[in-house]
Amino acid sequence: MSENAHIREPEGRIRRWLNSRPDEHVLLWSFRGLLVATFVVLGLDLADLQKQIPADTDPVFPGLMAPDDVPYLPSIREGRTGPVVTDPETAATLRNPATFELVDGGKLLFDGAIEPGSARRFAEEIEKRGGYIDTVVLNSPGGSVADALVIATLIREAGFNTEIGPGSYCASSCPLVFAGGRERVAAPTASIGVHRVFAADEAAGTPASGMDNAQAVSAECQRFLMEMGVDPRVWIHAMETPKDELFYFTPDELIDLKLATRIAKTG
């Protein structure tokens, strides 16, 4: 057998394999390959960022989680109090680690807190069901900023839209995930708020290094928002707001600052 024949044989097997499968299978494998490559690159970027953190701190930058007694934070602005969640089941959903559920219409429901490891679980979810997802619907009090940035980037790379439904809550690092959507739709009654981030060692009593880490994360967040076409004033509001309060955006502000591309119609 000639050398050229040896070369053509594997090429022929690959061509026959592709021809024997529907287009959707080929697209699914292509999507999975793109997803793996994206996650590897994001992992390397995150590893570089984590090198800036002292060894005795949490290796993942956390955002502020809602206090245990309430699943929401008060507004820094008079007249924008945010949702008052009194239903125990709803409150528990917001405090629990994020869950993902694919429902009709290509919507992936993203409910709960963003914890270290949430990005990995989200990547696994869209690797399995990414071909059926059109929109990621958010209801979260936020949490790990690093995980939120990875999730947001995966959403953008996959071309998903994001949505925050009527009466839903998207706070702390959750708006970063929202910003990852190509189309970003918010209900008029959705509560979307930001505040400054803090690092784990700040809570442990070392505010100097905590401030350094928080500034590094803030720079990453600001850079990401600008890459998504969001007005950097969004993060200015975050940095001006104490960690135990939220700056809730009005629907007009969401559009003006380009955080949302559209406000959903009511009725």
In a domain, 36, yes or no: yes
- Sequence-distant (6+) residues with CB within 8 A of 91 are 70, 71, 85
Mean of pLDDT values over 68-91: 70
pTM: 0.74
Q: Cα separation of 171 and 246, whole Å?
A: 8
Nearest in space to 181 (alpha carbons), one of 148, 157, 158, 156: 156
In a domain, 207, yes or no: yes
Q: Cα separation of 58 and 199, whole Å?
A: 8
In a domain, 259, yes or no: yes
Q: Cα separation of 235 and 190, whole Å?
A: 19
The number of beta carbons lying within 10 Å of the beta carbon of residue 194 is 28
In a domain, 12, yes or no: no
Give the domain CATH number at 126. Answer: 3.90.226.10
In a domain, 13, yes or no: no
The number of distinct structural domains making up the chain is 1
In a domain, 9, yes or no: no
In a domain, 102, yes or no: yes
Q: What is the per-residue pLDDT for 202?
A: 46
Q: Is 180 exposed, middle or buried (0-12, 13-18, 19+ CB in 10 A)?
A: buried
Q: Is the pLDDT of residue 197 over 90?
A: no
Confidence of residue 68 (pLDDT cuts 50, 70, 90): very low
Task: Residue 238: give the domain boundaries.
Answer: 32-263
**DSSP classification of residue 204:** T
Mean of pLDDT values over 18-23: 56
Q: What is the per-residue pLDDT for 67?
A: 43
User: What tens digit of pLDDT does each residue of 139-186 get?
Assistant: 999 999 999 999 999 999 999 999 999 989 999 999 999 999 999 999
Q: Is the pLDDT of residue 72 over 50?
A: yes
In a domain, 10, yes or no: no
Mean of pLDDT values over 39-49: 50
Q: Cα separation of 209 and 98, whole Å?
A: 29
Confidence of residue 214 (pLDDT cuts 50, 70, 90): confident
Of the chain, the percentage scoring pLDDT greater than 70 comes to 65
